[in-house]
Structure 1
Amino acid sequence: MNFWETITGSDLTEEWKAFEARAAALPADYRAAWGEIKGHLVPYSDFTGRNLMPILDGVLGLLEEAAADGQSTREVLGDDIAGFCAAVAGGEGAPSFRDRWREQLNKNVARKLGRLGD
């Protein structure tokens, strides 16, 4: 990845189009699940979304394999797609917005308490 791709995100656009092309080849119920998964993973994204690309690639690969094996989406993902996404993103170490806000709040409180003690 060169500087221009980093700044413009053009590498992400190409990768995203490749994901969508792969997802278009899935059966309808898997495409619907893919749409839900993307929506539930957005809170785990960093500013650019680069941290989600390996996660999305892995999940899409799982959906492709399961569809090829003839499994239902419920067998693969369970009943709780949001929980599945939280487990996948958490397993990869992707912090959510809530985690980032909690960390910032803790830093601010610690800083204020440190000043009060002086």
Structure 2
Amino acid sequence: MGIQDIIEGKKQWRAHMARVKALPSDYQIVYKEMQRYLFKVGPIDLLGGSLLSGIVDFFEEGVAAGKGVLELIGNDVAAFCDDLVKDSRTYADIYQESIGGKPGTAEK
């Protein structure tokens, strides 16, 4: 990764966050909670993929339709996030594989 890639990544991130800041405050609060949760859960392609920008797209459509954020995602933000990444590889999966287990299983 060169310096140009880093600069371009920062530009894209700033543009993304500008879109988030343009949302109503309740949407911003929920987005930040979702972002925090997803960073902890750790889907591998979170930053390089389109998940976060897709969430903003979804929220912008909800705002345009005049819906509240909880009407779109429900009351359980974590469950909504889990549904978004249920088929994605996570860092926990990689760790589980590295210690010899299968992803999603706990050894006794």
Report the TM-score, using the length of structure 2 for normalisation.
0.78
Which digits, 9 at most, give the CA deviation of each residue in 1:69-110, with x for residues without a partner?
11111111111111211221234x2x2232121111126xxx
- 1:70 aligned counterpart, secondary structure: coil
Cα separation, 1, equivalents of 2:71 and 2:85: 20
Cα 1:5/1:90, change in 2 over 3 Å: farther
What is the Cα-based RMSD across aligned positions, in Å? Answer: 2.3
Matched, 1:99 2:76: no
Identity, % of aligned positions: 25
- 1:47 deviates by 8.8
Which digits, 9 at most, give the CA deviation of each residue in 1:37-67, with x for residues without a partner?
110111324499324xx10110100001001
Instruction: Name the amino acid aligned to 2:94.
Output: R
How many residues are paired up?
100
Asked whether the 8 Å contact 2:42–2:92 carries over to 1, the reply is no
Cα separation, 2, equivalents of 1:16 and 1:82: 23
Report the TM-score, using the length of structure 1 for normalisation.
0.72
Cα separation, 1, equivalents of 2:46 and 2:55: 19
Asked whether the 8 Å contact 2:62–2:72 carries over to 1, the reply is yes
Cα separation, 1, equivalents of 2:18 and 2:69: 19
Q: Which has the higher helix share?
A: 1
Matched, 1:18 2:12: no
Aligned ranges 1:20-59 → 2 under 5 Å: 20-42=17-39, 43-46=41-44, 49-51=47-49, 54-59=50-55
Structure 1, unpaired ranges of 5+? 108-118
Asked whether the 8 Å contact 1:66–1:76 carries over to 2, the reply is yes
